[in-house]
């Protein structure tokens, strides 16, 4: 891996984040490609099981799919932070502790409930909540904060940068839509670049921390 870790600062530039994501991606293509293919394979299996099940079995498989999704999301965040910090990625990055996993899953449910209700209430409140608490997952994975503290810390990190973060989210959404249009293959590039860019932005706003335990 080349280059130094992202330097902590209380601001960020969208262009710098995307360039950082691209540079880190370029020197880690084999690793990221393997992770992405494994993740896609797992998601395909879960989708197939959901499609071919009914009733209570279908509900159980959907719940299992949710849990698998949380594991995958946490793993990607750990990979993103490791690459952002200039640390080698290990298998441990993909396996969170039970405590952090439970915290992450509960916080994810609360986050999407808040955003969902906000979207129903004239859309704008949902967008605001999505931006304010966008870094809850990074806070949990990086610092091991409990549910409410993770949400509060995200609100602190995003304060004063929410307009920029909204634009950053729009840019990432557009980038990944382009990746999806390329028969989905483009997502093998745009997804990891986006995640590393997000890790860069988080680290710029939060500063360095002790690496999270698995």
More confident residue, 44 or 90: 44
Residues 6+ apart with CB under 8 A from 198: 17, 80, 138, 172
Q: For 133, phi and psi rounded to 5 degrees? A: -105, 20
Angle in degrees, 0-180, between the axes of helices 136-143 and 147-158, rounded to the nearest 10: 120
* Core vs surface per residue 49-58: b (16+ CB within 10 A) or e: beeeeeeeee
Render the burial of 119-141: b for 16+ CB within 10 Å, e for the rest: eeeeeeebbebbbbbbbbbbbbb
The residue that leads in pLDDT, 183 or 199, is 199
Mean pLDDT of 126-149: 96
Helices (H), the chain: 14-26, 29-51, 55-85, 98-120, 124-132, 136-143, 147-158, 162-181, 187-206
Radius of gyration of the chain (CA): 17
Least confident of 4-13, 19-28, 147-156: 4-13
Q: Mutual orientation of helices 187-206 and 14-26 as an angle, nearest 10°?
A: 120
Provide, rounded to the nearest whole percent, the portion of the chain with pLDDT above 70.
92
Distances (CA, A) of 78 to 53, 125, 139, 195, 212: 32, 29, 11, 10, 8
The per-residue pLDDT for 212 is 40
Q: How far is CA 207 from CA 102, 104, 125, in A?
A: 25, 21, 28
Task: Output the pLDDT for position 1.
Answer: 46
Distance CA 33, CA 106 (A): 29
Q: Which two tokens stand for residue 38?
A: 């494994």
Q: What is the mean pLDDT of residues 60-87?
A: 91
- Residue 116's alpha-carbon distances to 25, 64, 132, 195, in angstroms, are 32, 22, 14, 23
Q: What's the burial of 163, exposed, middle or buried (CB within 10 Å: 0-12/13-18/19+)?
A: exposed
**Nearest residue to 193 via CA among 166, 213, 168:** 168
């Amino acid at each position: 891996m080349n280059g130094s870790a992202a330097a902590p600062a209380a601001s960020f530039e969208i262009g710098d984040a995307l360039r950082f994501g691209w540079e880190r991606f370029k020197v880690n293509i084999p690793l990221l490609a393997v992770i992405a293919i494994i993740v896609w394979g797992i998601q395909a299996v879960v989708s197939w099981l959901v499609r071919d099940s009914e009733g209570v079995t279908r509900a159980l498989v959907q719940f299992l799919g949710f849990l698998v999704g949380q594991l995958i999301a946490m793993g990607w965040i750990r990979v993103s932070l490791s690459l952002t910090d200039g640390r080698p990625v290990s298998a441990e990055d993909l396996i969170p502790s039970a405590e952090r996993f439970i915290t992450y899953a509960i916080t994810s449910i609360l986050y999407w409930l808040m955003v969902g209700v906000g979207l129903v209430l004239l859309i704008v409140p949902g967008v605001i909540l999505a931006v304010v608490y966008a870094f809850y997952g990074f806070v949990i994975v990086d610092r091991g904060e409990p549910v409410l503290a993770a949400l509060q810390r995200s609100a602190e990190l995003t304060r004063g940068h929410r307009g920029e973060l909204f634009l950053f989210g729009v840019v990432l959404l557009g980038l990944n839509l382009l990746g999806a249009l390329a028969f989905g293959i483009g997502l093998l590039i745009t997804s990891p670049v986006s995640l590393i860019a997000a890790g860069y932005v988080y680290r710029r706003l939060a500063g360095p921390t002790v690496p999270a335990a698995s």
